[in-house]
Structure 1
Amino acid sequence: MTSKTPEQRWLLEQLQQVAEGVARTFAPFCEVVVHDLLDPSHAVLAIHNNLSGREPGDPATELGLARIQDADIDQVIANYPNHFSDGRQVKSTSVGIKDSDGRYIAALCMNIDLSVFQGFQGMLNQFVDLPGAAPAQETLDPVGADAIRARIDQFAARMATTPRALKAVDRRVLVKELKSAGLLEVRRAMEIVAGHLGVSRASVYGYAR
């Protein structure tokens, strides 16, 4: 074990606080591990939401050892495929922590058990499946409704928000754009816009003036 400087000890202490916060936020689906790369034989310093079965004091992973040997390895390696020892698929992200000398001293690793979400996905696919259903002969949506909603979604994305979180001033600009594009001529357009924005039809009429 390499003797640690006060700076390195402080960084490790702070990293453990970050790990605990991330783990609480994404429990129980995300395992969060703090690796002490200054002690590779006992690198696992802390582990939260334990999904892999490892324990504090376990040795460094291959990536941890690679960082010890090469400080030029990317600090953030995100969303790479991985797996637990029992074969479960995992999506992992590893963030390397360097000291002021540019040396890797620690890593924060997050491992998401994909089997849980794959199970959810399977249930949802089964739920929405319509086996043997005849082609739809009618629709409750007026022609053009999808185009209106898509245009609203695109506008909200440009604002880096969601349709229902748009501010009043932005909603006014949006409705003007919809009007200019002729989308307010669609049957029940005001009702469609109001429903997608989560506001009253009266408000939409007001934005359109």
Structure 2
Amino acid sequence: MPTAKPSRTAAQRALLGQLEHIAQGLGETFAPFCEVVVHDLLDPGHAIAAIHNNLSGRAVGDPATELGLARIADPAYAPVLANYANRFADGRQAKSTSIGVKDAEGRYVAALCLNVDLTLFKSLQSAMGQFVQVDTQAAPAETLDPAGADAIRARIDRYAAARASTPRALKADERRALLAELKAEGLLQLRHAMQTVAAHLGVSRATVYSDAR
């Protein structure tokens, strides 16, 4: 005979229903790299209530994991375990996050779990690492940055920091005062100074010339 479903309060049923909506939204947002699973901890023998972007090969009605059983046994178990190393059944590396959900009585009734397949990301990481490699031994004595550009940017950064701001967030009157200081210090005489200032402030060169008058 089939096992009877455990009884639940209306609040517990509503909680599980809301979790299933959240899981669906997360699954659609992070597809296809992240599996999102709702575990019904009131029915550990058939705990998986919903699964989106199925990467693990499990199915609705499958039993609780070791982590789920640990939460059932201990209400003081950590409610959030984030970014822990995991592995799918076929050996693929995964990064998992498990969020336990309690009812009004402080009993774990459900868990929302996210399992990210790291295979693609590790391949991209390897490809990017190869792409950004440079041969420093064979490099000629050349720079694409105009002389003095670092000094200009550093001076702008100090000016903005003193005003609890960032270069791109400076107001028009602050920019004009900054340009006056750069001009007085001779930094605007450096090669490509106006271009460097404009790029660092996130404005046009015409704006910089206007502010410098």
TM-score range relative to shorter protein? 0.7 to 0.9
Q: C-alpha distance in 2, partners of 1:174/1:72?
A: 55
Q: C-alpha distance in 2, partners of 1:174/1:91?
A: 45
- 8 Å contact kept, 1:96–1:108: yes
Aligned to 1:26: 30
Q: TM-score, normalising length from structure 2?
A: 0.77
Please give the per-residue CA displacement for 1:114-153, whole angstroms capped at 9, x wherever unaligned: 111010111112222345861241111124545728949x
Aligned to 1:141: 145
Which ranges in structure 2 are unaligned for 5 or more consecutive residues?
none
1:10 aligns with 2:14: yes
Q: 2:126 aligns with which of 119, 122, 125?
A: 122
Aligned to 2:105: 101
Q: C-alpha distance in 1, partners of 2:179/2:94?
A: 43
Q: 1:110 aligns with which of 104, 108, 114?
A: 114
**Higher mean displacement: 138-147 or 101-110:** 138-147
How far 1:48 moved relative to its partner? 0.8
Q: C-alpha distance in 1, partners of 2:85/2:179?
A: 42
Aligned to 1:195: 199
- 8 Å contact kept, 1:178–1:184: no
Q: C-alpha distance in 2, partners of 1:91/1:177?
A: 47
**Higher mean displacement: 181-190 or 95-104:** 181-190
How far 1:167 moved relative to its partner? 5.1
- Aligned CA RMSD, in angstroms, stands at 3.4
Aligned to 1:50: 54
How far 1:109 moved relative to its partner? 0.6
SS in 2 for 1:78: strand
**Higher mean displacement: 175-184 or 135-144:** 175-184
Which ranges in structure 1 are unaligned for 5 or more consecutive residues?
none
User: What percentage of residue pairs aligned between the two structures are identical?
Assistant: 56
Q: C-alpha distance in 2, partners of 1:8/1:90?
A: 30
Equivalent pairs counted in the alignment come to 201
Change (3 A) 1:52 1:175: farther
Amino acid at match of 1:59: P
Q: TM-score, normalising length from structure 1?
A: 0.79
The structure whose Rg is larger is 2
How far 1:190 moved relative to its partner? 3.8
Q: C-alpha distance in 2, partners of 1:178/1:111?
A: 51
Amino acid at match of 1:104: Y
Change (3 A) 1:23 1:177: farther
Q: C-alpha distance in 2, partners of 1:174/1:16?
A: 51
Change (3 A) 1:5 1:187: farther
